[in-house]
């Protein structure tokens, strides 16, 4: 029964990685930029959710929506201010800018509110119940369902809407898309908005599930999500989802076997192995669809 | 409470070379003239751990006022000289130099953390000035890395490994549990020291350790390891660590259905733990502290009342330890009948079951206190005095 429990632990952790990884992979797919500030958008989302709940007394869902909206806006602002003018610059220049933006957000938040951690309030009456001998809290079920709904919604946006079609087109060939009359700038902004909104949602979910949030909380999940995105094949949406879940489950298994101190190492060993043996990731090549 | 050990040792030694080059080691640091006794307080009044240092400073002021009002020590009034070491090891060394060479104090109280206390050790030794760290719990404050005792350095708080012993005895004798799991912070010497002494003493008391797991500070997900611990069915889980992680561990453990008593040490002692874990999850958990404001014992109660009257709030362990440091020194000066540093040092070494606010106090050959510890239980988010374990 312990194994069912561990599987649930792993999937819960993995779904948070997956939500963050989606933003990485979407942005990479469209402008070939590893947006290192993405983990910090996740952190900002978590704090926005926290203040919506504690200061404005909102429930989980309103806080989630506010956080997603604010993060979408925040992502677009970052793109417009920092990345847009670098669109034709070298990729290394854009990458270094992304690291700079990441540090700016982290220490900007510390400057505004200090570095002390906050404890997320309990927004649900947290009941645990047993399924096949495993303890499942109502929180983890809700978190899982929110993540799944968001991922389905994303698939819908990418495949069934005009914006999604434009995103796929720009990802495939920016120049050709421009010639076809697609507004590339707006499409890129839309990609940042959607990716950042998912990070914001992940931030709120993380806060509810793990309780403690602080201004540097985005660093490790950001890096892990990057590993997840590479694992699945960077630029490929289903790859990010699967990569996130696989990484979460692998980390949990490593801990479950009693090697908890090796957990972070496992994530990076996976990254190294993938880069050596299959740089295009699990889903690379086979599905050429990129966003 | 153990910070920057190596950095501070290095700084202490390098500063000494630079600053004390001219001061010969034999200088008499304890010549206070007139009819006052000068006592220096080298404390963290600003910076990262300012709350520790300023708590102790408040209590030290209270103790000095009391002693002076009652006629001082052998008719001499105490003159307290407070210096802010800015929570920084190099500043702590500078402050100690100022206190010993400019102010020529009889003794130094401070610093609050182990790292800043270690930074003064060399100066205390060179100038033969007794120094009492109220809350430096690392072994290195009184025993150098080469195993030699720092002759002029003492402490009021019990050392870290002692808390592991207290926890083991409490689990085996009071809670009467047979099996225990240990879940320790692998990145902290403090936690590892506690875990090692707990395991040794719990097994010596006839208990069985069924699981030994580690985490690393800054982790947020403990569920997989906790699930593993749950699988080994312990009657009791010992979690030495600091409140930021422990709060999450306690919450996640209860969610996974680990309902057995959980226990930790003074690293848990922060109001934040209640926010992180939630009041419900914290029920049936115990911590060790030097002091509880609810201690019904006469001396502790008297201190709590006086403190509350002066400062309008209940005292915490840092207050109690700061206060006790002054009385420990007073007792030693009275018995030494002298202000000579070496005589005072010998008197402190001879302290035998001195009754202080935090319990009975004696010193062992490593200048570690042998003293009482207080066990506190969390009940609906409140710290409730459970019992006092005498040495």
**Residue in B309, B333, B318 with CA at minimum distance from that of residue B43:** B318
A217 contacts in chain B (CB < 8 Å):
220
Q: Per the CB < 8 Å rule, is A119 touching B186?
A: no
A9 contacts in chain B (CB < 8 Å):
221, 223-224, 227
Question: Measured between CB atoms, which of A13, A220, A256 is closest to B228?
Answer: A256
Cβ atoms of A6 and A253 within 8 Å: the answer is yes
Task: Report pLDDT for B5.
Answer: 54
Task: Report pLDDT for B47.
Answer: 81
Chain segment A51-80, per-residue pLDDT in tens: 999 999 998 999 999 999 999 999 999 999
B5-158+299-372 shares its CATH topology with B161-289: yes
Asked if residue A198 has pLDDT above 50, the reply is yes
Domain segments of chain B: what residues? 5-158+299-372, 161-289
Whether pTM > 0.90 for this model: the answer is no
Task: Report pLDDT for B390.
Answer: 72
Chain B CB within 8 Å of residue A137 CB: yes
Q: Per the CB < 8 Å rule, is B255 touching A5?
A: no
What is the complex's ipTM, to 2 decimals?
0.80
Burial environment of residue A156 by CB neighbours within 10 A (0 to 12, 13 to 18, 19 or more)? exposed
Chain segment B198-208, per-residue pLDDT in tens: 999 999 999 99
Closest-CA residue of chain A to B244: A212
Look at residue A236 and give its three-state secondary structure: coil
Chain B CB within 8 Å of residue A138 CB: no
Question: Measured between CB atoms, which of A137, A260, A264 is closest to B214?
Answer: A260
Chain A CB within 8 Å of residue B188 CB: no
Cβ atoms of B351 and B154 within 8 Å: the answer is no
B251 contacts in chain A (CB < 8 Å):
211
**Which of A127, A251, A255 to probe by mutation at the B interface, max B CB count within 10 Å?**
A255
User: What is the arithmetic mean of pLDDT over B339-364?
Assistant: 91
Chain A CB within 8 Å of residue B145 CB: no
List C-alpha distances in Å: A96 to A83, A87, B80: 11, 13, 54
Chain segment A75-126, per-residue pLDDT in tens: 999 999 999 988 888 889 999 999 999 999 999 999 998 888 888 988 776 6
Chain A CB within 8 Å of residue B239 CB: no
Q: Per the CB < 8 Å rule, is A251 touching B224?
A: yes
Task: Report pLDDT for B3.
Answer: 47
Q: In chain B, pLDDT over 90 holds for what percent of residues?
A: 55
Give B6's pLDDT tier (boundaries 50, 70, 90). Answer: low
B214 contacts in chain A (CB < 8 Å):
260-261
CA–CA dist A242, A228 (Å, integer):
8
Strands (E), A96-189: 118-119, 128-131, 134-137
- Which CATH number, 3.40.50.720, 3.20.20.60, 3.40.50.2300, 3.30.360.10, labels domain B161-289? 3.40.50.2300
Chain segment B212-235, per-residue pLDDT in tens: 999 988 888 899 999 999 999 999
Instruction: Centre a 10 Å sphere on the Cβ of residue B215 and count the other Cβ atoms it contains.
Output: 27
Chain B CB within 8 Å of residue A119 CB: yes
CA–CA dist B4, A288 (Å, integer):
52
Give B28's pLDDT tier (boundaries 50, 70, 90). Answer: very low
**Which of A15, A20, A50, A119 to probe by mutation at the B interface, max B CB count within 10 Å?**
A119
Chain segment B251-282, per-residue pLDDT in tens: 999 988 899 999 998 888 888 888 888 888 99
Asked if residue B29 has pLDDT above 80, the reply is no
Chain A CB within 8 Å of residue B199 CB: no
**Which of B181, B220, B273, B281 to probe by mutation at the A interface, max A CB count within 10 Å?**
B220
Give B1's pLDDT tier (boundaries 50, 70, 90). Answer: very low
Q: Per the CB < 8 Å rule, is B227 touching A9?
A: yes
User: What is the arithmetic mean of pLDDT over A138-161?
Assistant: 89
B257 contacts in chain A (CB < 8 Å):
128, 135
* Min Cα separation B134/chain A (Å): 26
The residue that leads in pLDDT, A160 or B159, is: A160
Asked if residue B43 has pLDDT above 90, the reply is yes
Q: In chain B, pLDDT over 70 holds for what percent of residues?
A: 91
Q: What is the mean pLDDT of chain B?
A: 87
Which is it for strands A118-119 and A212-213: parallel, antiparallel or unpaired?
antiparallel
**Which of B227, B247, B251, B270 to probe by mutation at the A interface, max A CB count within 10 Å?**
B227
A contact residues 61-80, partner B, Cβ 8 Å cutoff: none
CATH fold of B5-158+299-372, please? Rossmann fold (3.40.50)
Chain B CB within 8 Å of residue A125 CB: no
H/E/C letters for each residue in chain B?
CCCCHHHHHHHHHHHHHHHHHHCCCCCCCCCCCCCEEEEEEEECCCCCCHHHHHHHHHHHHHHHHHHHHCCCECCEEEEEEEEECCCCHHHHHHHHHHHHHHCCCCEEECCCCHHHHHHHHHHHHHCCCCEEECCCCCHHHCECCCCCECCCEEECCCCHHHHHHHHHHHHHHHCCCCEEEEEEECCCHHHHHHHHHHHHHHHHCCCEEEEEEEECCCCCCCHHHHHHHHHCCCCCEECCCCHHHHHHHHHHHHHCCCCCCEEECHHHCCCHHHHHHCHHHHCCEEEEECCCCCCCCHHHHHHHHHHHHHHCCCCCHHHHHHHHHHHHHHHHHHHHCCCCHHHHHHHHHCCCCEEECCEEEEECCCCCEEECEEEEEEECCEEEEEEEECC
CA–CA dist B330, B156 (Å, integer):
13
Q: What is the mean pLDDT of chain A?
A: 89
Chain B CB within 8 Å of residue A2 CB: yes
CA–CA dist A190, A196 (Å, integer):
10
Question: Measured between CB atoms, which of A128, A253, A260 is closest to B257?
Answer: A128
Task: Report pLDDT for A42.
Answer: 96
Q: Per the CB < 8 Å rule, is A258 touching B214?
A: no
A144 contacts in chain B (CB < 8 Å):
none
Give B297's pLDDT tier (boundaries 50, 70, 90). Answer: confident
Burial environment of residue B298 by CB neighbours within 10 A (0 to 12, 13 to 18, 19 or more)? exposed
Chain segment A245-265, per-residue pLDDT in tens: 999 999 999 998 888 888 889
CA–CA dist A4, A154 (Å, integer):
28
Cβ atoms of B80 and B105 within 8 Å: the answer is no
> How many Å separate Cα B302 from the centre of its chain?
21
List C-alpha distances in Å: B181 to A60, B184, B379: 36, 10, 22
User: What is the arithmetic mean of pLDDT over B64-86?
Assistant: 93
Question: Measured between CB atoms, which of B213, B247, B278 is closest to A122?
Answer: B278
Asked if residue B19 has pLDDT above 60, the reply is no
Chain segment B376-388, per-residue pLDDT in tens: 999 998 888 888 8
Task: Report pLDDT for B46.
Answer: 86
Give B171's pLDDT tier (boundaries 50, 70, 90). Answer: very high
Asked if residue B389 has pLDDT above 50, the reply is yes
């Amino acid at each position: 029964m312990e194994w069912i429990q561990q599987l649930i632990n792993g999937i819960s952790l993995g779904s948070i990685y997956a939500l963050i990884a989606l933003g990485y992979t979407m942005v990479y797919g469209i402008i070939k930029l590893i947006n290192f500030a993405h983990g910090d958008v996740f952190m900002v989302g978590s704090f926005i959710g926290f203040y919506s709940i504690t200061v404005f007394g909102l429930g989980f869902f309103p806080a989630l929506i506010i956080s997603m909206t604010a993060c979408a806006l925040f992502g677009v602002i970052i793109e417009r201010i920092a990345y847009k003018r670098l669109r034709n610059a070298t990729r290394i220049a854009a990458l270094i800018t992304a690291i700079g933006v990441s540090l700016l957000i982290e220490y900007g938040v510390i400057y505004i509110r200090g570095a002390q951690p906050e404890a997320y309030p309990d927004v649900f009456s947290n009941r645990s119940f047993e399924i096949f001998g495993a303890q499942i809290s109502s929180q983890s079920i809700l978190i899982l369902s929110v993540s799944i709904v968001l991922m389905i919604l994303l698939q819908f946006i990418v495949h069934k809407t005009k914006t999604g079609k434009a995103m796929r087109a720009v990802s495939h060939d920016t120049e050709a898309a421009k010639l076809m009359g697609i507004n590339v700038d707006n499409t890129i902004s839309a990609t940042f908005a959607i990716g950042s909104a998912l990070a914001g949602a992940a931030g709120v979910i993380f806060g509810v599930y793990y309780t403690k949030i602080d201004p540097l909380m985005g660093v490790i999940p950001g890096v892990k999500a990057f590993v997840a995105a590479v694992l699945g094949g960077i630029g490929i949406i289903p790859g990010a989802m699967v990569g996130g879940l696989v990484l979460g489950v692998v980390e949990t298994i490593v801990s479950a076997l009693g090697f908890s101190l090796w957990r972070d190492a496992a994530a990076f060993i996976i990254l190294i192995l993938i880069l050596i043996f299959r740089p295009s990731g699990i889903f690379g090549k086979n599905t050429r669809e990129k966003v | 409470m153990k910070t920057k050990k190596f950095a501070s040792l290095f700084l202490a030694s390098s500063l000494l070379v630079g600053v004390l080059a001219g001061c010969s080691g034999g200088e008499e640091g304890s010549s206070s003239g007139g009819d006052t006794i000068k006592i220096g307080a080298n404390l963290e009044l600003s910076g990262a751990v300012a709350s520790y240092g300023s708590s102790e400073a408040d209590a030290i002021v209270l103790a000095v006022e009391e002693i002076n009002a009652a006629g001082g020590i052998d008719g001499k009034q105490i003159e307290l000289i407070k210096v802010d070491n800015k929570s920084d090891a190099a500043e702590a060394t500078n402050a100690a130099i100022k206190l010993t060479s400019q102010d020529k104090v009889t003794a130094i109280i401070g610093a609050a953390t182990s790292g800043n206390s270690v930074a003064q050790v060399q100066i205390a030794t060179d100038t033969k000035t007794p120094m009492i760290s109220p809350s430096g719990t690392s072994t290195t404050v009184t025993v150098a890395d080469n195993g030699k005792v720092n002759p002029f350095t003492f402490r009021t708080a019990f050392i870290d490994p002692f808390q592991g012993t207290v926890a083991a005895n409490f689990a085996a004798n009071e809670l009467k549990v047979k099996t225990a799991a240990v879940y320790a912070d692998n990145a902290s010497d403090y936690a590892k020291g506690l875990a090692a002494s707990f395991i040794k003493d719990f097994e010596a008391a006839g208990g069985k350790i069924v699981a030994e797991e580690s985490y690393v500070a800054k982790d947020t997900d403990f569920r997989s390891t906790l699930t593993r611990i749950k699988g080994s069915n312990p009657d009791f889980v010992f979690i030495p660590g600091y409140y930021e992680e422990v709060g999450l561990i306690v919450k996640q453990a209860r969610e996974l259905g680990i309902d057995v008593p959980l226990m930790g040490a003074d690293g848990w002692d922060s109001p934040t733990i209640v926010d992180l874990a939630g009041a419900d999850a914290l029920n049936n958990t115990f911590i060790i502290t030097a002091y509880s404001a609810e201690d019904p014992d006469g001396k502790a109660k008297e201190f709590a009342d006086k403190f509350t009257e002066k400062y309008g709030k209940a005292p915490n362990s840092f207050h109690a330890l700061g206060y006790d440091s002054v009385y420990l020194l007073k007792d030693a000066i009275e018995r030494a009948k002298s202000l000579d540093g070496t005589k005072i040092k010998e008197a402190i070494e001879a302290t035998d079951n001195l009754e202080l606010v935090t319990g009975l106090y004696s010193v062992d050959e490593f200048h570690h206190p042998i003293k009482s510890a207080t066990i506190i239980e969390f009940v609906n988010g409140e710290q409730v005095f459970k019992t006092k374990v005498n040495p």
